[in-house]
Amino acid sequence: MFLIIIRRIHLVSLSLSSAALKVTASLVTQLIPNQTPFALAPVYKV
């Protein structure tokens, strides 16, 4: 039972971290001037 709980917590933390990465990437692309996001877009799109 403890292993199942640990796995669920691990999956939730992974999904939260990926969502946080996407949010920060979108914020960075919005804050950076209009020329650079096109160069950085393939890096940030996960």
pLDDT digits (tens, 9 = 90+) for 17-45: 888 888 888 887 777 655 555 555 565 55
User: Structure pTM?
Assistant: 0.47
DSSP secondary structure of the chain: -HHHHHHHHHHHHHHHHHHHHHHHHHHHHHHS-TTSHHHHHHHH--
9 or 38, which is more confident? 9
